[in-house]
Amino acid sequence: MLACHGGQYALIPCRGASGCVNADGRALCDTSIAEQGDACRDENTKACAGDRSQVLICKQHTMQRYYACRGPNGCVSSGGKLSCDTSIAKEGDACDKKLEGQAFSCSPDASAILVCKGGAFALDQSCKAGQKCSSLEAGTHCAKPGP
Same structural domain, 63 and 118 = no
- The per-residue pLDDT for range 106-139, each reduced to its tens digit, is 999 999 999 999 999 999 999 999 999 998 877 8
Same structural domain, 49 and 15 = yes
User: 44: helix, coil or strand?
Assistant: coil
Q: Report d(CA 10, CA 68) in Å as an integer.
A: 26
Identify the CATH number of the domain in which residue 50 sits.
2.30.130
Q: Report d(CA 139, CA 120) in Å as an integer.
A: 19
Q: Give the pLDDT score at 71.
A: 94
Q: What is the largest CA-CA distance in the chain?
A: 63
Q: Which domain holds residue 22?
A: 1-70
Beta bridge partners of 39: 62
Identify the CATH number of the domain in which residue 120 sits.
2.30.130.50
Average pLDDT of 4-23?
72
Q: Report d(CA 126, CA 131) in Å as an integer.
A: 9
